[in-house]
Structure 1
């Protein structure tokens, strides 16, 4: 039953956000009695952290693409973000990224969620940074910028583009991301 609730929470929190989602919304989506929620979670905030973890595991599985050494690192970076833009397109630009959504909504409301988001974003940046370092070593990315700064910039810019795509309901922000980012950091 706990897994059903977490799965329902991922979908509901991703679609509606934390503040617009009630425990009842989540248990209704899971098709379980509301009382069962409290058998597994001490609060909606604790469930939000578990839902973030579940979502993060999906993001992590996609990050493996950045480690495919059979392809040049710059191609991997571009391909990774292109695939993410396809996810946005497939969802009609409505949901965005749950990590970014929670990052915009929750830092001032929940220390628990904010701290977990910080860990997730740092790990995400490190995964991108590894690929950036490889691209700098093979000369396809500028070497005058720190890999850590480039990785953080890529992730921050991407999350901003995702947010803007939700507002505009199109891929204009993604097209601008690719045009500006990869032109700026390529050598």
Structure 2
């Protein structure tokens, strides 16, 4: 049986390659070369490139640190804003040209792979649900009015974020990400905050 550490190296390399070059721009050979393994060893860990991409996508989601949304040391809207600030800082750290791997896969392989399309759709649905729960808590604590459509607000925030990253990727400019907060997040939620960082 293959050593788990080598599988982890393949997954880490796949995550990096898919995020940097996209699904179609990353082959099995690229991933195994990045992991320092012969191409033939790939099939000890995955049956197909698609299966590897599904695992990379899952790992990417883990790296978004969604548990921050449940950090009850902060009020709900501050916590939600901190979530998007973290995502923006991660974009700045990794490079704006990478964008969001979930969004990249959505635009690149939605018509090519039903399995990846379903995984991306499920990821977005889960994310929107998590944001909705934080917004629901904000209503309970009086930070938002009870008349708000929380699912619509949550999906609007997530979709606006993904559009922000697509625009930033095209322009190569982080200003679009910075503008998300005063232009989208704060007006939609009624949040009042100082600088982003």
Runs (5+) with no aligned partner, structure 2? 1-5, 192-197
How far residue 176 of structure 1 moved from its aligned partner, in angstroms, is 2.6
Q: Is 1:186 matched up with 2:176?
A: no
User: 8 Å contact 1:89–1:170 — kept in the other structure?
Assistant: no
Could you list the per-position Cα deviations for residues 85-115 of structure 1 after superposition, in whole angstroms to 9, with x for gaps in the alignment? 1111122312111111111111100001011
Aligned residues: 185
Corresponding residue number in structure 2 for 1:71 = 74
Pairwise CA RMSD of aligned residues? 1.5
- Whole-angstrom distance in 2 between the partners of 1:29 and 1:186: 45
Q: Using structure 1 for the length normalisation, give the TM-score.
A: 0.92
- Whole-angstrom distance in 2 between the partners of 1:43 and 1:168: 34
Secondary structure of 2:29's match? helix
Corresponding residue number in structure 1 for 2:92 = 89
Quick one: structure 1 residues 184 and 53, their matched pair in 2 at CA, closer, same or farther if it must change by over 3 Å?
closer
Corresponding residue number in structure 2 for 1:154 = 157
Matches within 5 A, 1:44-83: 44-59=49-64, 62-83=65-86
Which stretch shifts more, 12-21 or 32-41? 32-41
Corresponding residue number in structure 2 for 1:118 = 121
Runs (5+) with no aligned partner, structure 1? none
Q: Is 1:100 matched up with 2:110?
A: no
Could you list the per-position Cα deviations for residues 49-89 of structure 1 after superposition, in whole angstroms to 9, with x for gaps in the alignment? 01111111222xx2111112221111111111112111111
Runs of 4 or more, structure 1, over 4 Å off, are none
Q: Using structure 2 for the length normalisation, give the TM-score.
A: 0.88
How far residue 5 of structure 1 moved from its aligned partner, in angstroms, is 1.2
Which stretch shifts more, 106-115 or 177-186? 177-186
